[in-house]
């Protein structure tokens, strides 16, 4: 009976936490979309819409008629947006938010996140094919090509970070856990060469982010001026609104992943805070970090660079970004080898007075 009561309480907390994270992702995702649109407008010399405009867009879409094309596979067409949103919200369960640990904390959640990130894109691809539209089919093909291109450099980053943590903490078995990575920042455990390599990996993930979010210059699957919206050409009303929410939540997810991997620091300890005040301050600091990540990885890039063609996107990720990621990996490996050699010769250096 006691075990059943404990299980019920744990299940209730999981349900409440999941609902809370869903509302958190949607609310702040829409806010960040509004800020992104406002900042990009000012950068281009425009006034831009108000920050609350994404909320208006969602309300309008959910009140519009939901049209399903005659030649579409209706049940696939209607379920694809829901699957994409559920998959995106599921990622939030594995992400640390400020000093709050993930709800679903496992030893391999970073691998799970890598797979879950594919679900929104796959949902759009399946929905595009199911719509029966020529434009959506072209967009779906482009989306698949883009996914294949950027997943490899993303995987390089994950493997590199896990390898560093394993070499530093030989006994550790949860190096693919985001909470473990966030609790063990790597910047202070690297030499000069490793520091440079880690910055390169950060740059690679910043460049991967707009492709994950289908933002300019990597938005060829949805290029309005070429294929009339591509994947979303036939979507309207509630279905389009769900895809809109998916994009908002995924923006928070990608920024949170960058924060957890590269900037997991909290500031409550600096002010000597504990308990609820510490959680509140760290949460606000987390939101600020997410805002800056979105600014540099989404807003500045899409304002500065024009849309690329699909062959250019694939070529950039498969060749240049992958090579850049490998350079970062090699720098970190060399840095580790140099530190090993220093530790080996350290007694000799001490005797010679070279330490």
State the angle between helix axes of 134-168 and 118-131 in degrees (0 to 180), rounded to the nearest 10.
170
On the CB side of 128, CA atoms within 13 Å amount to 27
228-270 residue pLDDT tens: 666 777 888 888 899 899 989 999 999 999 999 999 888 887 8
The pTM for the full model equals: 0.88
296-333 residue pLDDT tens: 988 888 888 877 788 888 888 888 899 999 999 998 88
State the angle between helix axes of 322-352 and 134-168 in degrees (0 to 180), rounded to the nearest 10.
10
Question: With 0-12 CB in 10 A as exposed, 13-18 as middle and 19+ as buried, what is 92?
Answer: buried
CA 31 to centroid of chain Cα atoms: 17
Full residue range of the structural domain in which residue 92 is found: 55-352
Does a structural domain hold residue 39?
no
How does DSSP classify residue 214? T
Q: What pLDDT was estimated at residue 354?
A: 45
Residue 211, pLDDT above cutoff 70: yes
State the angle between helix axes of 2-43 and 74-92 in degrees (0 to 180), rounded to the nearest 10.
100
CA 190 to centroid of chain Cα atoms: 24
CA atoms of 334 and 324, how far apart (whole Å): 15
Does a structural domain hold residue 20?
no
CA atoms of 320 and 327, how far apart (whole Å): 10
Does a structural domain hold residue 42?
no
Which range among 145-154, 164-173, 278-287 has the greatest average pLDDT? 278-287
Does a structural domain hold residue 44?
no
Does a structural domain hold residue 23?
no
Structure tokens that stand for 186 in this block:
């790597």
Does a structural domain hold residue 47?
no
Mean pLDDT, range 276-297, rounded to an integer: 91
CA atoms of 215 and 220, how far apart (whole Å): 9
Does a structural domain hold residue 326?
yes
Does a structural domain hold residue 14?
no
161-173 residue pLDDT tens: 888 888 877 666 7
Number of domains in the chain: 1
């Amino acid at each position: 009976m006691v075990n059943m009561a404990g299980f019920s309480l744990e299940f209730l907390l999981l349900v409440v936490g999941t609902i809370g994270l869903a509302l958190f992702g949607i609310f702040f995702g829409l806010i960040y979309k509004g800020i992104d649109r406002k900042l990009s407008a000012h950068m281009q010399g425009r006034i831009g819409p108000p920050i609350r405009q994404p909320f208006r867009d969602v309300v309008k879409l959910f009140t519009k008629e939901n049209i399903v094309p005659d030649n579409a596979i209706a049940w696939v067409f209607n379920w694809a947006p829901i699957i994409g949103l559920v998959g995106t919200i599921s990622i939030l369960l594995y992400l640390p938010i400020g000093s709050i640990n993930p709800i679903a904390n496992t030893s391999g959640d970073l691998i799970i996140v890598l797979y879950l990130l594919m679900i929104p894109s796959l949902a759009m691809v399946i929905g595009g094919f199911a719509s029966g539209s020529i434009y959506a089919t072209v967009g779906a093909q482009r989306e698949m090509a883009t996914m294949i291109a950027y997943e490899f450099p993303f995987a390089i980053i994950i493997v590199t970070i896990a390898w560093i943590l394993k070499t530093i903490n030989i006994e550790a078995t949860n190096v693919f856990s985001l909470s473990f990575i966030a609790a063990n920042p790597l910047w202070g455990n690297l030499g000069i060469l490793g520091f440079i390599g880690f910055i390169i990996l950060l740059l690679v993930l910043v460049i991967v982010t707009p492709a994950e979010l289908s933002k300019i210059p990597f938005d060829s699957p949805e290029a309005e001026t070429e294929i009339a919206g591509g994947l979303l050409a036939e979507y309207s009303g509630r279905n389009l609104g769900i895809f809109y929410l998916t994009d908002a939540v995924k923006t928070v997810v990608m920024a949170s992943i960058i924060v957890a991997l590269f900037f997991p620091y909290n500031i409550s300890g600096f002010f000597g805070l504990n308990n609820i005040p510490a959680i509140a301050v760290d949460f606000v600091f987390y939101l600020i970090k997410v805002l800056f990540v979105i600014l540099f990885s989404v807003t500045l890039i899409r304002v500065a660079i024009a849309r690329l063609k699909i062959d250019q996107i694939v070529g950039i990720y498969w060749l240049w970004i992958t090579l850049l990621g490998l350079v970062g990996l090699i720098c970190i490996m060399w840095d580790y080898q140099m530190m090993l050699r220093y530790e080996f010769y350290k007694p000799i250096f001490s005797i010679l007075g070279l330490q």
